[in-house]
Amino acid sequence: MLLKKTTQLLLTFIVAIGFSISVSAADKTIGILAYDGVLTSDVVAPTEVFGVASRKAWFSDYEVILINVKPNKTVKTEEGLTLQVDANIYDELDLDILIVNSSYDMDWLFENDDLTKFMRDQAEKVEWLASNCSGAFLYANAGLLDGYRATTWAGGEAELQRKFPKIDVVVDQNVVVDRNRISSNGGVPSYQGALVLLSLMSGERNAKKFLKPFSSTA
């Protein structure tokens, strides 16, 4: 019942706002990793939540950018949506939050040493590392979840635990927060993860005001 109500709330949020992103001069940057074959929902969820929040006075010092793994101007998602990116992992980026996402084919990402270095370098500087779905495997492959609690796509927890035994993998929980690491199951819970992170970044009061117009009693 709780999951159903959460899903209804998040779907209402999606429809009511519509996909949008506002990037302007700001002091802090939220970087969202994108690449050919990435799952659309994993990218859209944090982009929409933080993009809309950045229009609020209490979050206006943040901007949202899409970061390509390759030095290309666009990416095509698994579902065929073409997205224009703002930067790539080879640029000099000053990020405050890094969010990594998933695809059905992750092997080439695991083998990308430049991506692994990028994530490790950012981990030393950012305030938050976040992942959706199998994006947790990218952080795990870089050793960035060792000693942390984390989750991944529903049904993939056992694989994450088997491959990376130093992680405390959590089962049957949509969003897991451990210190400055936050992970979600992906899909609709990508919105939930973004909203939890927004609350942690801006305060529960602001997050509740942000959600109020989209709440449902159904």
pLDDT in tens, 95-127: 999 999 999 999 999 999 999 999 999 999 999
Whether pTM exceeds 0.75:
yes
Give the Å distances, CA to CA, from 79 to 76, 83, 135.
8, 11, 17
Q: What's residue 112's pLDDT?
A: 98
Q: Which of 168, 167, 154 is nearest to 102 (CA)?
A: 154
Nearest residue to 131 (alpha-carbon basis) of 50, 201, 204, 194: 194
Task: Give the residue from 212, 146, 188, 208 showing the smallest Cα distance to 6.
Answer: 188
What digits encode the pLDDT tens for the residues 65-86?
999 999 999 999 999 999 999 9
- Polymer length in residues for the chain: 218
135: helix, strand or coil: helix
- Between 187 and 2, name the one with better pLDDT: 187
Residues 11-26 have pLDDT tens digits of 444 434 333 344 445 7
> DSSP strand E in 52-172: where?
62-68, 74-76, 82-84, 87-88, 97-100, 128-132, 149-150, 168-169
Structure tokens that stand for 132 in this block: 């959706």
Domain ranges for the chain, please list them: 2-208
Domain 2-208 sits in CATH at 3.40.50.880
pLDDT tens-digit readout, 154-189 = 999 999 999 999 999 999 999 999 999 999 999 999
Residue 173: both structure tokens together: 């929980």
CB 154 within 8 A of CB 134: no
Distance CA 14, CA 188 (A): 10
